[in-house]
Amino acid sequence: MSIKPTIVFDLDGTLADTMLDLVPVLNRTIAIQGLKPVTAEQVGHVSGKGIKPMIKLAYTLNKKSISAQMVDELFDIYLKDYTNNIAVNTRFFEGVENCLKIFTDDNWILAVCTNKPVKLADKLLRELGAHQMFSAVPGFDSFDYCKPDARHLIKTIELAGGSASNAIMVGDSQNDILTAQNASIPVVAVDFGYSEHPVATYNPDQIISNFDQLYETAVEMMENI
């Protein structure tokens, strides 16, 4: 019996436009220390690396230094706020829900590999009504390693019941593309996410501009694995 094909998605900037809530929470958090607000354009490109890098960048943009202890303290404040406001404005990008259904109907295994804390990733997908579609949703704190470490992606595929030799990654940033490349897994980049530079800069295997393109792209890529 052949192993089902697996498609693994990044979450922030790939499946969902989370900046709509991430940035307001970030600005409320840094305001406690008297910092000026930042914009999605300024910090979005590090969102795929996690919350702490966003906090550090906000300080850099304000030309302020921050200690590791303060990062941890603000991280805890951020988590409490974001947990309560995780899907106030966040929505799936256009076409995502239909795309996920197409893959599910075609018997693909679906998973999410994110550098969001796992409890927040679970909560967001539940609030968006799609958690049941994914066989695994590990976050940055699920293992002793996280993206761009190849093991984060490979372990995600294993937890979902798939095989790394029969899988594809979908992401929006250098971090996602590098993760897949480190794992020797084909990667599709979306060009509408939070990448600092055009995703073509990072040499993904394919680039799509909307989710209507993903199924046919993935099937063709799988045939060439």
Q: Which positions are annotated as active-site residues?
A: 10
Please, how many CA atoms are within 13 Å of residue 129, restricted to the half-sphere of its CB?
6
* Integer Cα distance of 220 and 205 in angstroms: 12
Give the DSSP per-residue string, 63-98.
Answer: T----HHHHHHHHHHHHHHHHHSTTSS--BPTTHHH
Write the DSSP symbol of residue 83. Answer: H
- Please give the radius of gyration of the chain, using alpha carbons only, rounded to the nearest integer: 17
* Integer Cα distance of 22 and 225 in angstroms: 36
* Integer Cα distance of 29 and 71 in angstroms: 11
